[in-house]
Amino acid sequence: MKYSSQWWILSSAILLLTTSVHASRTLLRNENGVKTAVFLSPPFELGSGSVANKNYFDVDFPKGHIALKDFNAEIIDAAGNPVPLHETYLHHWLMARYYGLTSAVSNVTFVRNSGVCQGNVLAQYYGLGSETRRTLTYVPDPYGIEVGNPAQIPNGYEEGWLLIVHAIDTRGVVDRMGCTECRCELYNVTKDANGMPLSKDYPGGLSCCYDQTQCKVIEGCEHEKRELYLRYAVKWVDWDESIVPAKIYILDATDSGERENSTDQNAPLVGCQVEYQVESCSASMEKGLCVDAKKTSVVMPRGGNVIYGVAHQHAGGVGSTVYGQDGRVICSSIPIYGDGNEVGNEDGYVVGMSTCYPKPGSVKIMDGEVLTLESNYNNSQMHAGVMGLFYMLVADLPLKE
């Protein structure tokens, strides 16, 4: 079944925003050649049960020919205090790269990652969700993600960055888990953001919690609106010939392998559907044995050394693994669940994902190799709108190999 979700589909952002928005730089430092800058997104407001799904073009970002080394983000309030997930749930944030005419931000060409999904689906350079605070993202030496190369930017264009922030306020709602899973019945939504009717067998997902939708709140438990920001920190080094470029690959457990040649950005999605539904297992089964395993096979267009890997899963996730064509484990990534009330350890939420940093040269992928991605969820209960994504950084094999 194909869903009409616009999550992580960058072409839709062009239709939603046609003006530039500049964020604010709050800190800049340089330590042993590694530069760090901390920025703020434009402000957005949330009250009890409300949703913000904002697209900000031309946000502040390091300039020049550089190698990205790290990227972290979190939601803060107007006083600069980190906001816990049980108050404002960070469904996802994305940072995407594009080339745009200096005089018309709406006329942009996205510079997508290295694959493997089609078109502008999952084309971002960075993107996480509730797990942001406790998920490592640094790129080890001598590798880096190359951006800003003037030889690659078309004449008359400049490089820009699009920031997408999707957050849900769950203060006072009747069902926090239901709101964060975007269950349509709680949002009283029957049409998607484009006004298209939703399928009756679509229980929830991004098509039900788009910008300015409202999740059901307990009567008398409404909280005042407050101003929030996404604070994001970037680390980078100036580019030089000693840096080995790392390519970003994003795999999707919903990838059917179907592709089409259409150049129409509004054409129906094929292949990567981004989200899916996990049905509950039989009530007669033991709770510990209820696992929904979603698998797909993906052809890697280019091989190399794997230098980093991490999955993206929602609550209910129990881990994802990428296997090589011969069955070897490329990387396994497991959710970290909070067990407290403090920021970064919120009980019941996915607050981090384990990562893979293989010894350099120890994990290789061959050109055209078929990888298998398996995304596992505990399905002792139904989960709506879950994700089964996997990020990998792959560097070209040295010529002598």
The answer to whether position 400 is within a domain reads: no
pLDDT for res 175: 97
Using CA atoms, how far apart are residues 330 and 114, in angstroms rounded to an integer? 18
Q: Which domain holds residue 181?
A: 11-395
Strands 389-395 and 335-337: unpaired
What confidence tier does 191 reach under pLDDT thresholds 50, 70, 90? Answer: very high
User: What is the distance, to the nearest Å, from the Cα of residue 222 to the centroid of all Cα atoms in its chain?
Assistant: 30
The answer to the question of residue 180 being in a domain is: yes
What local confidence, expressed as pLDDT, does residue 267 receive? 52
- Distance, in Å, from the CA atom of 77 to the CA atom of 162, rounded to the nearest integer, reads 21
Q: Which residues pair with 342 in a beta bridge?
A: none
Burial 305-329 (b: 16+ CB within 10 A, else e): bbbbbbbbbbbbbbbbbbbbeeeee
Does the pLDDT value for residue 1 go beyond 80? no
Which residue's structure tokens are 């926090």? Answer: 176
Tens of pLDDT, residue by residue over 272-304, are: 889 999 999 875 465 557 999 999 999 999 999
Domain count, the chain: 1
308 in any annotated domain: yes
Cα separation, 401 vs 398, in Å, equals 6
How many whole angstroms separate alpha carbon 259 and alpha carbon 270?
6
Q: Does residue 266 surpass a pLDDT of 70?
A: no
Compute the mean pLDDT over every residue in the chain, rounded to the nearest whole number.
89
Q: Does residue 401 sit within a domain?
A: no
* 161 within a domain of the structure (yes/no): yes
Give pLDDT, residue 5: 42
Maximal C-alpha separation, the chain: 69
* Cross-strand bridge partners of residue 274: none
| pLDDT confidence of residue 3 | 40
Amino acid 401: pLDDT: 46
Q: Are strands 244-252 and 143-147 parallel, antiparallel or unpaired?
A: parallel
22 within some domain: yes
pLDDT value at residue 16 = 43
Contact criterion met (CB below 8 Å) for 37 and 25: yes
Is the pLDDT at 354 greater than 50? The verdict is yes
CA-to-CA distance for 190 and 139, rounded, in angstroms? 43
Q: What Å distances lie between residue 26 and 70, 132, 203, CA to CA?
A: 17, 20, 41
Question: What kind and span of H or E run contains 15?
Answer: helix 11-16
* pLDDT score, position 15: 41
| Overall average pLDDT of the 168-184 stretch | 97
Predicted pLDDT of residue 137: 97
What pTM value is reported for the model?
0.89
Structure confidence at residue 25 (pLDDT): 58
| pLDDT of 258 higher than 60 | yes
In 122-232, alpha helices (H): 176-180, 184-187
**Residue 164 clears pLDDT 80, i.e. is over it:** yes
Most confidently modeled of 91-105, 174-188, 264-278, 282-296? Answer: 174-188
Bridge partners of 108, per DSSP, are: 100
Instruction: Give the separation between CA 328 and CA 182, rounded to whole angstroms.
Output: 36
**Domain presence at residue 69:** yes
| Secondary structure letter of residue 288 according to DSSP | G
In this predicted structure, what is the pLDDT of residue 17?
42
Q: How confident is the model at residue 216 (pLDDT cuts 50, 70, 90)?
A: very high
103 pLDDT above the threshold of 70: no
- Is residue 1 in a domain? no
